[in-house]
Structure 1
Amino acid sequence: MKRQSFLNVGLAVSLALAPQASAADDLGAGLAGLVIGAMIAGAAQNNPPPRQHRTPRKAAPARPAAEVQADKDMQQALNNFGFDAGPVDGSPGKRTRAAIAAFQGTLGRMQDGVITADQRALLQDAMARERLNPAEAAQLAAANPYGRRGLPAMYQRTPMAPAAPYPTPMPPYPQAPATPYAQPQLPATPAPAPVPPVAAPAAAAAAITAQDSIPDFGDLSPPAASMNNLCNQTNVLTTSNGGMATAEQMPNPGLALDEQFCLARTFATADGEKVAKDVGATQALITSLCGQMKTALSAKLADPAARPPEATLADIRKVIDASGKTLSATQVSGRVCLAEGYRTDDAAMANVALATLAAAEMKPYAELLGHHLREGFGFTANPEASRAWIRFALDAVTSGAAPAVLPNQTAERTAILSKAITAN
């Protein structure tokens, strides 16, 4: 019925619009067009357009089981050393990347949160070594400002001693071949045991006189100040205080200075060792060349407290210029020899390396020379000269010089050092 009504209405409209002069001709055309239009309309009504179906989204391909397990091992190792990587689920996210970045900071590496194959291996080796020798781990952690967090970096610098070889087993006692139908033999008469010689009487102990009864240590000279010992003690005090001092919470400015020195020392050691590895320097070459530099420049750095830092560094710069070495090459030498001085607790070598770096357009390294002057590492302790060298370094950083150590903590360290040297 609907289709018939549509035809009737179409016919009426067509007849009304057709001109009267050609009604017979146009009527046929109008009817044909009307029928076609009705058919199209009916088809559209009876056959609506098909629905558009969305293509289902393809699921992400499953990660290989070995890759997931490797990420689980990494998260477990990070958590083991105090870097909060979150759940050990094999799916690293923001929390795991933040933990990786913190771990990279203890190594003196770029803190981009993307772990390298070498860093993965270091984490696993460090965790295994800690479990094999907890006593060694506790000792190394006590000597590191980062505590247990610093163990992977410490293990990297102190390779594990090779295991003692198993004792060679004794060869089996040779057995005499059995003689068939051997005749029984009577046992031989044993020889008499030798008589042990009579021991000579022991000499009478010398009598202790009244003069020797009280030991006298007054003639002994005090040992040289040790950078390693200071940082061991500082780590113990920092741990007992519940953490390092900040610019807002600084009950002991002297301890705050020691904490910042030990942090910088750890960073500089790792940095110099990396540079040495990058340039392919062997330990024998480092020992030889850094020893030569110490001998050649120690006289130029005999008393840095007697003159302003600028005057002392100007003398070192003259030696650098006369050597014909580029500033870039000099900076490499300074960083390598600074790490060697800190590794071997050689204050004189560390002092020469620091002065060389500061004279070679890396003035912020003067901060560590200030700490050395304060504690008497290779110099006579001089608190006033110490403050002058640290201020010199801080002024250089404020003027735009690249920080020498811990670049991600520059603002915080600057605030701590400025407050500490003012109050100390």
Structure 2
Amino acid sequence: MLKRNLCSSLIMAAMVAVPVQKAQAGDAGAALGGLILGGIIVNELNKNKQRQRTVYRAAPSYSAAREENRQIQTALNYFGYNAGSPDGVMGSRSRSAVSQYQAQMGFTPDGRIDPYERDFLLGSYQRALSSSHVAPYNQIMASQGPSGLLRTYRNEQLGISTTAAQAAPVPAPAPAPMPAPVATSAPAPAPVPQPVAPAAPQPVTARQENASLPAFTFGQSDRSVNEHCNQINVLTAANGGITAPGRVKDKEFALNEQFCLARTHAMAESTSITATIPNMTDAQIEQQCEGLAQVIAPQLTSLSTSRPDQVIADTSAVIQSSGQPIQQLASGGKVCLGVGYRTDNAQMALASAVLLAAAGQLGYGEVISHHMREGFGTAKADPAGSNAWMQMALESVTSTAGAAVMGQSPDRVAVLQDATVGGGSAALPAFPAKN
């Protein structure tokens, strides 16, 4: 009996002790969740919780997965991508429809829809149900169909405004009635004109002697990454999809496609991290990112004249002098990279990529290469300068496990290598000599 009472007491004590430990862990998590360094630092506890929620969501029950697949198939069919009957089974027809959707939106057309692509598709479907009958979307729906409406939603997400509906043309007024003819007397004969002496030539004035073509000094406006990628995405859709490995014919266009893909991944990652930043508005986050761009501005000016290792060393010195943890600064750089693209601030995006490369994530050298090649946020560099950053990024991705960033899948890396190293290069024909 004594033993039984002793066991019961031990069990009750254990039950009391467990909630206390859980409460203490929860208090520690809440305390860590309030940490913000520099206004944009994301605490790692919230990031881990976000990942856990994402993993849980990616593995729903069988019935929930079937229902989600039905919603995806229904949305694909609505926007003109034939996924077949919405039965909840993602077969070959559904995967083909997903690939068509991905290609037209500028995503990687692999037939496997990721959470970002799924949420955009389903959100656009719900939006179309409520807005496709109002201006200007009803005109887009009538002239371009549901797929044109989806492209419009994508452009708006990228910061490209939708043209407002044009006013209906005003009908021209009816012509006034012709007046009735009035009888008149015969006209008097016209007087014979007298010959007029030719006028003496006028002397050339000083203004005529000094005439010249206008010469104005125009300010140079920054190029828009949003407009650039919108044009690339339209051409990609017209070509039937993104350039595949081993099929690089136009190296410049293939690099631009990869740039816009990297940009899309950067914005998606920034959005997911921003959701874990407590007690800050979008305007406050953007203000902090503008400060980042100002701090890294001196390093941006040396991109065209310094080697990548020199720029990285200079930026690393700035990072170390800040006194902030490298991992948290890197999280802030990822936030600001996406913010720069969403707000069409090329210099902010470029500064964020330089910070990330200096923080040890050399795969972001791809972004720096694209910016230097096209002149986004910096002056256009010679091919050797931009290629040096690209080669550094590709070597990092292919030689270091887990170093891939911005969706640098094997296919993406293969296209970047083909377009940078010599795939698809032009050459004179070489035929065997005739005997």
What TM-score, normalized to structure 2? 0.58
In the superposition, relative to structure 1, how do residues 133 and 311 fare at CA in structure 2: closer, same or farther (>3 Å)?
farther
1:406 match = 407
- Greater radius of gyration (CA): 1
User: 1:185-226: per-residue Cα shift (whole Å, max 9, x none)?
Assistant: xxxxxxxxxxxxxxxxxxxxxxxx989x99846421332222
User: Equivalent residue for 1:391?
Assistant: 391
Shift of 1:340: 1.3
Residue of structure 2 in register with 1:326 after alignment = 325
Q: Output the CA distance in 2 between the equivalents of 1:320 and 1:338.
A: 17
SS at 2:318 equivalent = helix
Q: Is the 8 A contact 1:364 1:393 kept in 2?
A: yes
SS at match of 1:372: helix
* Structure 2: distance between partners of 1:353 and 1:84: 40
Establish whether residue 302 from structure 1 lines up as the match of residue 301 from structure 2: yes
For 1:329 and 1:357, locate their aligned partners in 2 and report how far apart those are by CA, in whole Å.
Answer: 11
Partner of 2:276: 278
Alignment of 1:250-289 (within 5 A): 250-280=248-278, 281-289=280-288
Give the Å deviation of 1:295.
Answer: 1.1
Q: Are the structure 2 counterparts of residues 231 and 402 from structure 1 closer, same or farther at C-alpha, using a change threshold of 3 Å?
A: same
Q: Look up the equivalent residue of 2:390 and give its one-letter code.
A: I
Aligned counterpart for 1:233 among listed residues 231, 234, 256: 231
Instruction: Quote the Cα distance in structure 2 between the aligned partners of 1:100 and 1:222.
Output: 43
> Contact between 1:394 and 1:414, CA under 8 Å: does it hold in 2?
yes
Distance 2:70 2:157 in 1: 22
**For 1:55-112, what per-residue CA distance to the aligned partner results, in whole angstroms no more than 9, with x for missing partners?**
xxxxxxxx99x99887644421133346654312x43344588579867997999x98
Pair 147,214 (structure 1): closer, same or farther in 2 beyond 3 Å: farther
Which structure has more RCO (C-alpha within 8 Å, separation ≥ 6)?
A: 2
Give the superposition deviation at 1:135: 5.6
Match of 2:25 in 1: none
Name the residue aligned to 1:124: 125
Secondary structure of residue in 2 paired with 1:279: coil
Q: Which residue of 2 aligns with 1:92?
A: 89
Structure 2 equivalent of residue 221 of structure 1: 219
CA spacing shift, 1:344–1:114, aligned 2, 3 Å: closer
Kindly provide the CA deviation profile for residues 330-387 of structure 1, in whole angstroms up to 9, marking residues without a partner as x. 1111111111111122111111100011111211011010010001112221122111
Q: Which amino acid aligns with 2:126?
A: D
How many angstroms apart in 1 are the aligned matches of 2:303 and 2:122?
44
- Matched residue SS, 2:309: helix
**1:107-118 pair list within 5 angstroms:** none
Q: Report the RMSD for the aligned CA atoms in angstroms.
A: 4.4
CA distance in 1, matches of 2:235, 2:289: 33
Work out the CA distance in 2 between the residues paired with 1:108 and 1:235: 9
Contact 2:72 2:122 in 1 (8 A): no
Q: What TM-score comes out, normalization by structure 1 length?
A: 0.60
Q: CA deviation at 1:320?
A: 1.3
Alignment partners' CA distance in 1, 2:231 and 2:398: 31
What residue ranges of structure 2 are gaps of 5+ in the alignment?
1-61, 141-146, 163-206, 426-435
Identity of aligned residues (%): 29
Give the direction of change, closer, same or farther, for the CA distance of 1:81–1:322 in structure 2 (3 Å limit).
Answer: farther
How far, CA to CA, are the matches of 2:240 and 2:113 in structure 1?
Answer: 27
Alignment partners' CA distance in 2, 1:219 and 1:367 = 35
**SS in structure 1 opposite 2:276?**
helix
Determine the structure 2 residue equivalent to 1:243: 241
- When residues 132 and 100 of structure 1 are mapped into structure 2, their CA distance, relative to the original with a 3 A threshold, is same
The 2-side partners of 1:364 and 1:67 are apart by 34
Q: Tell me the distance in 1 between the aligned counterparts of 2:160 and 2:222.
A: 27
Contact 1:107 1:153 in 2 (8 A): no
In structure 1, the residue matched to 2:362 is 363
Q: CA deviation at 1:133?
A: 5.9
Give the C-alpha shift of residue 314 in structure 1: 1.4
Q: Could you say which residue in structure 1 is the equivalent of 2:75?
A: 77
Aligned residue pairs, count: 306
Offset, 1:282: 1.7
In 1, the alpha carbon distance for the partners of 2:67 and 2:344 equals 41
Separation in 2 of the partners of 1:370 and 1:279? 30
8 A contact 1:83–1:149 mirrored in 2: no
How far the C-alpha of 1:307 sits from its partner, in A, is 1.7
Q: CA deviation at 1:305?
A: 2.2
Shift of 1:241: 3.2
Q: Displacement, 1:236?
A: 3.2
Q: Which runs of 5+ in 1 are unaligned?
A: 1-62, 140-145, 162-208
User: Which stretch has the larger CA shift, 303-312 or 123-132?
Assistant: 123-132
Q: Within the alignment, does 1:416 sit opposite 2:406 as a pair? A: no
- The farther-off stretch of 293-302 and 238-247 is 238-247
